Amino acid sequence: MSSSAGFLLTLAAVLVVPACAATGPAAPHLGCELKVEGARVGGPVRVQMVLKNQGEKPLFALTWGTPFEEGWMDTPFTLRGPDGAEIPFNGRMAKRGDPTRESYELVPAQGSVEADADLAAVYDLSKPGQYVLTTTRDLYDLVDDETQVPRARDHQHAVALGCPPLTFTVAPATAR
């Protein structure tokens, strides 16, 4: 193999490995479901996120950047509009220190929790049509040992949310 071919293979490995490592492993007992109902231009578009724990131990999910976070800063979603183009997130972004215990949501063993947030508050949903909401970022941390909550940022373990993509329709505004 020539030295330039070897260099190109090394360069490709350096570029590809970090991209593959950006998604954490799937949580072994955590399921995720998204729902949107009754979406209309000019109104709130409530996305409901349901986290389901199928395991025998409670789980503690760091809520940052999910509908579970009060004020919903950052997003785990990519949203594509009726024309297929990505719609930018217009919500707040935050630099953070270490989380507090209150930053975690308890997902009981064999149970579920749900939260909702208004997509229209952070995305431009002014065009009627079909939208596709995809989870493209991991949960920042998932803990199955309550004594480890909260965990410092450098000890967190990201896990894939694993929510299936959701296609929903935003209806035209109603005439007044």
Domain tally, the chain? 1
Residue 64 lies in a domain: yes
Q: The domain containing residue 72 runs over which residues?
A: 25-170
CATH of the domain at 121: 2.60.40.2970
User: Which of these ranges, 44-48, 70-74, 77-81, 133-137, has the smallest mean pLDDT?
Assistant: 70-74
The residue whose two tokens read 């002014």 is 126
Single out the residue of 76, 30, 75, 32 nearest to residue 55, CA to CA: 30
Interatomic CA distance for residues 34 and 169, integer angstroms:
14
User: Cα 117 to chain center, whole Å?
Assistant: 12
Residue 11 lies in a domain: no
The pLDDT of residue 22 is above 50: no
Residue 5 lies in a domain: no
- Report the amino acid identity of residue 128: P
The pLDDT of residue 62 is above 60: yes
The pLDDT of residue 17 is above 70: no
The residue whose two tokens read 């079909």 is 130
pLDDT tens digits, residue range 87-96? 999 998 888 9
Task: Give this prediction's pTM.
Answer: 0.81
Residue 16 lies in a domain: no
First to last CA, the chain: 72
The pLDDT of residue 97 is above 50: yes
The pLDDT of residue 170 is above 50: yes
Single out the residue of 119, 131, 108, 121 nearest to residue 29, CA to CA: 108
Q: What is the pLDDT of residue 7?
A: 32
